[in-house]
Chains A and B, each alone.
Chain A
């Protein structure tokens, strides 16, 4: 059996090496090399999960080394840390990365009626694998400094991949994404300095060692960085533009993985301060409210900002005609859900944290399914316009079925995956109590209900309403990926609930 450090190193090295390897190849060979690398990465991930499962629950899987003599921090500077929430993020990154690589091979072809091209496959896979590398590094980070480095790497990969088609629109969109997320990155760096100066440490839980005021400022800076990365109000404008990227990229970077980095960082901070402060397995339902300095009010700030994002995102649903832009706004609101849960956790209801983690996983799968479904539709019809597409269920039954599963999962039909997370969120809000919670519940349920209605209507329109269309089902590899994701959505119950007891 491999020991876990080796698996973690492999997980990090394989995509990096693959990225440099694959850029030498063209078309078919590039597909094969990328697939090989993705599969190998996935196997390394399986080993890591196995190691985590076989380790005792109290054991901490972390290995950190000092690399820079003049930057001594307690505990070490760079290394690996594997725990429950890191594994959730890795599961999204590695699994969906593999599926996206499989999907990309037939998608980037001359047969694609949306974007018939095979140019630059080597470049495409190179950036994609580099992105996998950066996300893995981010998920394995033992402290905020390493996370920051990989965070910036993902921004660069995102810029390169959005601009992949090299036309004016995508170049501008890539530049916009780069600028907006870099502003967030700068604030992240500032927060790092502010926390390093008094404590000399970059640990996740370092917030609790600061004075109340400084901790509040640092947290707000981190929060703004996360808002920019996760496309929250007011920084959301780059994400709809980023839909100029190839669809598998939109699915992976701008729904499942990269935009999750922001919420992942916040959840790390919440989790970290929680475990540092209590230092022990505290009672189940006391969050950090009673302990952290600014606790309650900051949590409500996070939650209300998230609700505003949800409502703004919802507003934009109704005026979208491009399916991908609709999904982008949906991504914005769903990242709002995750931050909402984290806000509740900070305000004192730990259930919110669990809800956020479940939603991170469930939304990653469901949204990838929807994006790839749109990719399959666009591949076959050449259109992504809601007003133009009709009656796809007759011509592309499997794609239509998978797309429906995705829609049902996303809007939270019980007992599919997102139902559980939304229900947890609602239960957590109600547990919070008070007038603020009442307001949050009303906004949240209102948003969920209207989104429910709208997505169902869109689905009904493009899939069911009858119209003869001259299309055929997409290639088998793409369909296979869609079916895999649909199965993951359908078995959501068994897939997600085991992760539940996320108590530090």
Chain B
């Protein structure tokens, strides 16, 4: 038990920073740099925390305060996984904050009040999700993350489509959250009469359910998976992503896709690799749920990537790409869950692959969103059809975008290559146990081809080809250095992970759950600093030495360059020929919509779109609920009638009143006489 919780420092620092940033919001630059400083300090703390956790090789646990009525306690629990992802979140947060300082000049919001405040709160929420291990407070942190995200999506609130997208995000994410809430509350009820939200007790409650009421346990797991997969953007619940990304400012998109949706995958890990393991579920459960998760993942990887290929809006394309990439991650986690009990080595390999893909995708997806944001900043459009030939006008951005695109496609020497390679290995060898995984290997490979296709489309339509009319008119310049810096840093990170994968793998291995720790060490045994060798049991599964590949690539490029130099082939520059007709150059240009046209026309509606329903309600009161009409009204009128009838007795004639009095007096006398008689 650690006396103070370092994770609490990080979260409190971010929240305090948010409050101060709100106060500073009149001075935009100052506010921006202040937020950058706050995130930088938080990142230092997170790195320190990660190093401590890695050095101790044990999680840090600290209870901050308690809510005894509900049996909840704010428990900070930081293990390798939490520490790694916290550092990742804060690193991306730092880069996006630096990027935002200039980027926000272009955002046409009526007031920039609160952008950094919301950004810091968003980061605080994400750190809370990662570091808190008490279900009640976890859910509070989860909401603390979801709400600033909503506010950031609708940040450009004068645009109606931003408001619609925000509403869609809000509804879908809360449908998932309700599932999560109900799942947790069902387990809470099982923890005994007093009830507690502690992770351990909830896990054992789940264990009890697994053995006594398996159907209910399945329902709970399904609800929780639904909640996390909605946030992760898995098909078919990921429909909010393609609307939210174009609406949000680019650095926010980078954070949403780079980090927030990954926390859905984190939730899946915690439920299936920690809770279900602690619950002591039998192996068949793991296999079954693993196949379910892997199926969703594979489906999502395919459909997301296919939908991205036909998209002509850069940010929508990237959003579908996120759906595809998170599909890979969930596929890897599915394989990991399926083999936890059967074959820990395959399981560990899949875990490492999934975690590494989280990191790699965070880097390249954030990178591509930032480069798209830079293009948007200079040209004001996200429509790929209206762009072209920006490489001569924005060369530095173009280079970064190319690196990002190569990484998305999983080309060797980038981080995503290693993760996809490991994923395919684990799926392939998993296929020996259950043929369905072999099929998913093929799906994943095909989705990789699609990823290359949309990556090429994005980069080629933006940066290569003939300049469009818009580009010729605007003549965009390179973005400021403060916007370039985060892009280059992310590109460097993509390449670093790809060139030195052994270090990344070792880090991911440290984050593996207890049950897989041995398997993780074994799966990547034989790895040294420069090359990765995977082994499954006695045999070597594969080996990859990126520096050798780099050297060969270099040699090849050099040869090509030499040949082209030696041949001295002249390059002719001519006008496009349209059979003699004089056409607008814009019509002759090879536009984004023309890419893979044969393919895209068949996949035009591969991802079904849901519209936010417009609630139409009758303006009239239904007769049943109009209580006034059928109950109070008639009763009131009846009372009036009776009163009117009674008032008829008031004739106004003294004689009548005298008569009443006499009759009354007679009655009283009669009664008195009867009483006297009886007594």
Using CB atoms and an 8 Å cutoff, list the residues of chain A in contact with chain B.
Answer: 179-180, 233-237, 285, 312, 315-316, 318-319, 351, 354, 394, 397, 413-415, 423-424, 426-427, 430-431, 433, 441, 445, 449, 452-453, 456-457, 460, 464-466, 497, 500-501
User: Chain B residue with minimal CB distance to A461?
Assistant: B163
Are A237 and B617 interface neighbours, CB within 8 A? no
Are A424 and B70 interface neighbours, CB within 8 A? yes
A-B contact pairs, 12 of them (CB 8 A): A237-B628, A319-B617, A319-B619, A319-B620, A394-B111, A413-B147, A424-B70, A427-B188, A433-B189, A445-B181, A465-B160, A466-B110
In the complex, chain B residues whose CB is within 8 Å of the CB of A465: 157-158, 160, 163
Q: Given A237-B632, A466-B110, verify A452-B154 contact (CB < 8 Å).
A: no
Are A354 and B69 interface neighbours, CB within 8 A? yes
Are A466 and B158 interface neighbours, CB within 8 A? yes
Interface flags for B177-204 (1: CB within 8 Å of A; 0: not) read: 0100110011011000111000000000
Distance A441 CA – B183 CA, assembled complex (angstroms) = 13
In the complex, chain B residues whose CB is within 8 Å of the CB of A319: 617-621
Q: Given A414-B140, A460-B163, A464-B157, verify A427-B67 contact (CB < 8 Å).
A: no
Is B653 in the interface zone, CB < 8 Å from A? Answer: no
In the complex, chain A residues whose CB is within 8 Å of the CB of B139: 414
Distance A501 CA – B617 CA, assembled complex (angstroms) = 43
Q: Would you give the shortest CB distance from A75 to chain B, in whole angstroms?
A: 32
Are B163 and A464 interface neighbours, CB within 8 A? yes
In the complex, chain A residues whose CB is within 8 Å of the CB of B619: 319
Are B110 and A501 interface neighbours, CB within 8 A? no
Are B69 and A351 interface neighbours, CB within 8 A? yes
Q: Given A285-B193, A497-B67, verify A453-B140 contact (CB < 8 Å).
A: no
Is B582 in the interface zone, CB < 8 Å from A? Answer: no
In the complex, chain A residues whose CB is within 8 Å of the CB of B194: 285
Are A414 and B143 interface neighbours, CB within 8 A? yes
In the complex, chain A residues whose CB is within 8 Å of the CB of B113: 397
Q: Which 8 pairs between the two chains have the least Cβ-Cβ distance?
A: A318-B617, A466-B158, A414-B140, A464-B157, A414-B143, A234-B627, A237-B628, A430-B189
User: Chain B residue with minimal CB distance to A394?
Assistant: B110
Cβ-defined partner of A430 (8 Å) among B167, B188, B620, B631 = B188
Cβ-defined partner of B178 (8 Å) among A237, A397, A423, A445 = A445
Distance A303 CA – B486 CA, assembled complex (angstroms) = 56
**Residue of B69, B113, B181, B182 with highest tally of chain A CB at under 10 A:** B69
Q: Would you give the shortest CB distance from B626 to chain A, in whole angstroms?
A: 8
Q: Would you give the shortest CB distance from A91 to chain B, in whole angstroms?
A: 20
Are A464 and B154 interface neighbours, CB within 8 A? yes
Distance A394 CA – B157 CA, assembled complex (angstroms) = 11
Are B625 and A312 interface neighbours, CB within 8 A? yes
Q: Would you give the shortest CB distance from A284 to chain B, in whole angstroms?
A: 8
Are B186 and A430 interface neighbours, CB within 8 A? yes
Within 8 A of A (CB), among B111-158: 111, 113, 136, 139-140, 143-144, 147, 154, 157-158
Is B171 in the interface zone, CB < 8 Å from A? Answer: yes
Interface flags for B238-257 (1: CB within 8 Å of A; 0: not) read: 00000000000000000000
Distance A397 CA – B618 CA, assembled complex (angstroms) = 33
In the complex, chain B residues whose CB is within 8 Å of the CB of A433: 189
Are B632 and A427 interface neighbours, CB within 8 A? no
Q: Would you give the shortest CB distance from A233 to chain B, in whole angstroms?
A: 8
In the complex, chain B residues whose CB is within 8 Å of the CB of A312: 625
Is B33 in the interface zone, CB < 8 Å from A? Answer: no
Distance A234 CA – B628 CA, assembled complex (angstroms) = 9
Q: Would you give the shortest CB distance from B619 to chain A, in whole angstroms?
A: 5
Distance A281 CA – B102 CA, assembled complex (angstroms) = 63
Distance A430 CA – B191 CA, assembled complex (angstroms) = 12
In the complex, chain A residues whose CB is within 8 Å of the CB of B620: 319
In the complex, chain B residues whose CB is within 8 Å of the CB of A315: 625
Distance A453 CA – B615 CA, assembled complex (angstroms) = 11
Within 8 A of A (CB), among B81-100: none
19 extra interchain contacts, Cβ-Cβ under 8 A, other than A318-B615, A318-B617? A179-B636, A180-B632, A319-B618, A351-B69, A354-B69, A414-B144, A415-B144, A426-B185, A427-B70, A427-B185, A427-B195, A441-B182, A449-B174, A449-B178, A457-B167, A464-B157, A497-B67, A500-B69, A501-B69
In the complex, chain A residues whose CB is within 8 Å of the CB of B617: 318-319
User: Chain B residue with minimal CB distance to A241?
Assistant: B628
In the complex, chain B residues whose CB is within 8 Å of the CB of A426: 181, 185
Within 8 A of A (CB), among B352-377: none
Q: Would you give the shortest CB distance from B151 to chain A, in whole angstroms?
A: 10
In the complex, chain B residues whose CB is within 8 Å of the CB of A497: 67
